[in-house]
Amino acid sequence: MQIEQGVTHAIVTGAASGLGRATARALAANGVLVSVFDINEAEGKRVADDIGGMFHRVDITSEESALQGFSDARAAFGQERILVHCAMTTKGGKTVGRDRATGGWTRMSSEDYAFSAMGILVASYRMASISALGMVEHAEPLEDGERGVITLTASIAAEDAQVGQVAYGSCKAGVNGLILPMARDLMDQGVRFNSIMPGIMSTPPVHALPEKVFQVLNDSVPFPKRLGKPEEYASLVLELVRNSYFNGQNIRLDGAIRMPPR
């Protein structure tokens, strides 16, 4: 899709931090009007102000909040042609493991599993389907009949989740699983869907890990021997926007890393 400077509107979720923030900045630097969706108001507003975009406080786990956010963003910048969904909520834990307090065996509760399912898989479906409906109803077809492009964020944990990542890994695999059926469902309306599986990227959650773990992660990347840069994620998003032949793909962005079991 060709970006129309000052006209093309993109919604980026989780854009107050990390990969979403880098993507919001890169899109804005390329002339896109960006709506910043996040629950972090202070940082979200700061990012939006920096890039000449607009902040909307949206909780991706709430249908009501999401619908309101899309409606407000469209009222301000028109129908979005680009959605990049980065936000998520999850809880770690093993399928069966030792309870720290009692020392006995315990399993991850279905409620804790459902927290990740709602925060990753259902939220991805919610944001993508709301955006796709808007594109079908309100975006005029461009060249090749294209109306819009949607990028979801999975993880390499979708393919090689480690111990303690049963919920995160399986729900991110579900995000990958949305891509082909959604691309097929919208094939006659010209909406494309892809997902990116980032490896270990240099963002706040990774920097919050203990120094020793952080160093092991750094050293474990085959090449380049470093964490991924949020700008490298953003650059791939831009390519997925511009190159209309990308559709129905789950793409690893990981320096050839394959995660061991633990």
Q: How far is the CB of 159 from ligand NAD (least distance, A)?
A: 11
Q: Which of 10, 11, 84, 88 binds ligand NAD (CB under 6 A)?
A: 88
Q: Which of 113, 118, 198, 247 binds ligand NAD (CB under 6 A)?
A: 198
204 lies in the site for ligand NAD, by CB under 6 A: yes
- Of 92 and 248, nearer to ligand NAD (C-beta) is 92
Contact 57, 44 (CB under 8 A): yes
Beta strands in 82-218 (DSSP E): 82-85, 96-98, 105-107, 148-153, 191-198
Q: Which of 200, 237, 238, 259 binds ligand NAD (CB under 6 A)?
A: 200
List 84's β-bridge partners, or say none. 12, 151
Q: How far is the CB of 10 from ligand NAD (least distance, A)?
A: 16
Nearest to 156 by CA among 119, 206, 204: 206
Window 121-160: residues binding ligand NAD (CB under 6 A): 153, 155
Q: How far is the CB of 38 from ligand NAD (least distance, A)?
A: 5
In angstroms, the CA 226 to CA 113 distance is 32
40 lies in the site for ligand NAD, by CB under 6 A: yes
The yes-or-no answer on residue 233 being catalytic is: no
Segment near ligand NAD (CB under 6 A), from 23-31, 73-81, 135-143, 204-212?
204-212
| 145 Cβ neighbours under 8 A, 6+ residues apart | 190
61 lies in the site for ligand NAD, by CB under 6 A: yes
69 lies in the site for ligand NAD, by CB under 6 A: no
| 110 Cβ neighbours under 8 A, 6+ residues apart | none
In angstroms, the CA 45 to CA 39 distance is 10
Strands 249-253 and 191-198: parallel
12 lies in the site for ligand NAD, by CB under 6 A: no
Scan for tokens 């969706």, then name that residue: 37
Q: How far is the CB of 137 from ligand NAD (least distance, A)?
A: 24
| 195 Cβ neighbours under 8 A, 6+ residues apart | 151, 152, 153, 154, 175, 176, 178, 179, 249, 250, 251
- Of 20 and 174, nearer to ligand NAD (C-beta) is 20
Q: How far is the CB of 211 from ligand NAD (least distance, A)?
A: 16
Binding site residues, ligand NAD, CB under 6 A? 13-14, 16-20, 38-40, 58-61, 86-89, 153, 155, 198, 200-201, 203-206
